[in-house]
Chains A and B, each alone.
Chain A
Amino acid sequence: MAKRAAPEVNAGSMADIAFLLLIFFLVTTTIPKDQGLNRKLPPIEENDEDVIIKQKNIFTVLLNGKDQLLVEDELMDVKDLRQNAVNFLDNNGDGSCDYCQGAQDPASSDNPDKAIISLKNERETSYKAYITVQNELVAAYNELRNRRALEIGPAQGFRDMNFVEMQKNYKDARFNGNKTKLKEVIDQIKVEIPQKLSEVQN
């Protein structure tokens, strides 16, 4: 028998097979959304010791059932919440905070360590309004922390890096810098401007 060349395999249906697989993956998978606002819930404690906090150190934010925002007993637009929260945290009423640039209003908070933001919502409040307010309050803290990071960062060798970027770099495995030093800077800022955001349970 004479040798014959093997006939070429027909690849015409390759596209169909690939389409089939593609459609299968399109249907069974989702693009993951793994980001959000991290929060820590307060543990349930038995001791009912009342801690006395001066009224001027509390920044009350109330979100009512109609999604209206009441800040320090005054109606406010969500747009203005961030700046007001920054002003409150940065006030430095007793002059003990040397990195604050606030107005030193004696009727507002003493220092960032004592300042507490209290958030209260009602059962009828919509979730989107709640998230918006949470976001603005976190933004206020981040704004102050970023400012502080730009002040103390360069001395530690982290030039032009704000707090949010510092945290991102710290988590990033590809970051080639001194991570222990970075952690120290992050912790220092966290101590200087602690996030004291309390939610009223109802």
Chain B
Amino acid sequence: MSKFKKDGGKEIPPVNTAALPDIVFMLLFFFMVVTVMREDSLIIENQLPNADQVEKLDKKNPVSYIYIGKPSKGYEKYGTEAIIQLNDRPADVRDVTAFVNAERAALREELIPFLTIGMKVDKEATMGIVGDVKQELRKVNALKINYTTGNGVALDNL
């Protein structure tokens, strides 16, 4: 029965890692394809609510985002109430007009009427500040808006 006996001193051969770069490259390409570069670094909390009657944003049309939410950790100097963030900075309701005009100025002329404002508002924000922003948008005639949401059951929000 010595046939089945293990050879005493032989060590386990090392695992072949030759395919490791291939696996990592596969992951890398996956992430390169499905993600986009971060546009703004957020200084606020931005947990979007869910909805199930969502429409895809038309990528052919330009979109500008307005973020609203509570300042996140490390930015407590801006208070504890929900604030507006435009580009990388916290902003006031009055700045929305200037922001929309700046976004329009950066566009080709024929695309200006198609500018959509994406509202990325934190779940826990109140409608007061959202209403103020909407009023400002009406003043500059930026009427196409999109409440950006996750895809899920809306009733779970509450």
List chain A positions with a Cβ less than 8 A from chain B: 11, 14-15, 18-19, 21-22, 25-26, 28-44, 67, 78-79, 121-132, 134-136, 138-139, 142, 167-168, 171, 201-202
B149 near A22 with CB under 8 A, answer no
- Give the 5 A-B CB pairs with smallest separation, nearest first: A123-B128, A29-B35, A18-B24, A135-B154, A14-B21
Given A11-B21, A34-B56; A131-B36 close (CB under 8 Å): no
B146 near A39 with CB under 8 A, answer yes
| Apart from A34-B56, A127-B126, A135-B51, 5 more pairs, CB < 8 Å | A28-B37, A28-B38, A36-B51, A38-B55, A40-B145
B123 CB, nearest partner CB in chain A, Å = 4
How big is the B interface, by class?
35 or more
A142 CB, nearest partner CB in chain B, Å = 6
Q: Which residues of A contact B130 (CB under 8 A)?
A: 127, 130
Chain A residue nearest in CB terms to B60:
A171
B78 CB, nearest partner CB in chain A, Å = 18
A81 CB, nearest partner CB in chain B, Å = 10
B53 near A123 with CB under 8 A, answer no
- Which of B52, B54, B63, B125 is close to A127, meaning CB atoms less than 8 Å apart? B125
Segment at the A interface, from B7-15, B91-99, B102-110, B131-139: B131-139
A36 near B155 with CB under 8 A, answer no
- Which of A18, A122, A132 is close to B21, meaning CB atoms less than 8 Å apart? A18
Could you give 26 example pairs across A and B, Cβ below 8 Å? A29-B38, A31-B35, A31-B36, A32-B36, A34-B56, A36-B119, A36-B147, A36-B148, A37-B55, A37-B146, A38-B146, A78-B158, A121-B131, A123-B127, A125-B127, A126-B124, A127-B121, A127-B125, A128-B158, A129-B157, A130-B127, A132-B155, A135-B51, A167-B55, A171-B58, A201-B131
Q: Which residues of B contact A41 (CB under 8 A)?
A: 134, 137-138, 142-143, 145
